[in-house]
Structure 1
Amino acid sequence: MDTVTMFKMNFSILSVILSFPSYRKLSIKFQYAY
């Protein structure tokens, strides 16, 4: 596995961890919207 692929994988995992709280807020907003 090359460095770019490793970096992309780590970045996607990090972004998922970072966006998890905002994702929960968005899902709550969508529940209220529908």
Structure 2
Amino acid sequence: MCPELNEWVDHLGQFIEAKESADEEIFKAITVVRQF
């Protein structure tokens, strides 16, 4: 694996993790809003 590709995969992994945690936060916010 070339270093550039390896670095790109790392960035992609971090991006996906960040997106998933953001999705969870949005889901929690929607759940809280629905309780009102």
TM-score by length of 2: 0.52
Structure number with bigger Rg: 2
Q: What runs of 5+ residues in structure 2 fail to find an aligned partner?
A: 32-36
TM-score, length-scaled by structure 1 = 0.54
Q: How many residues align?
A: 26
Unaligned runs of 5+ in 1: 29-34
Structure 1 residue ranges, 4+ long, deviating more than 4 angstroms after superposition: none
Q: What is the percent sequence identity of the aligned residues?
A: 8
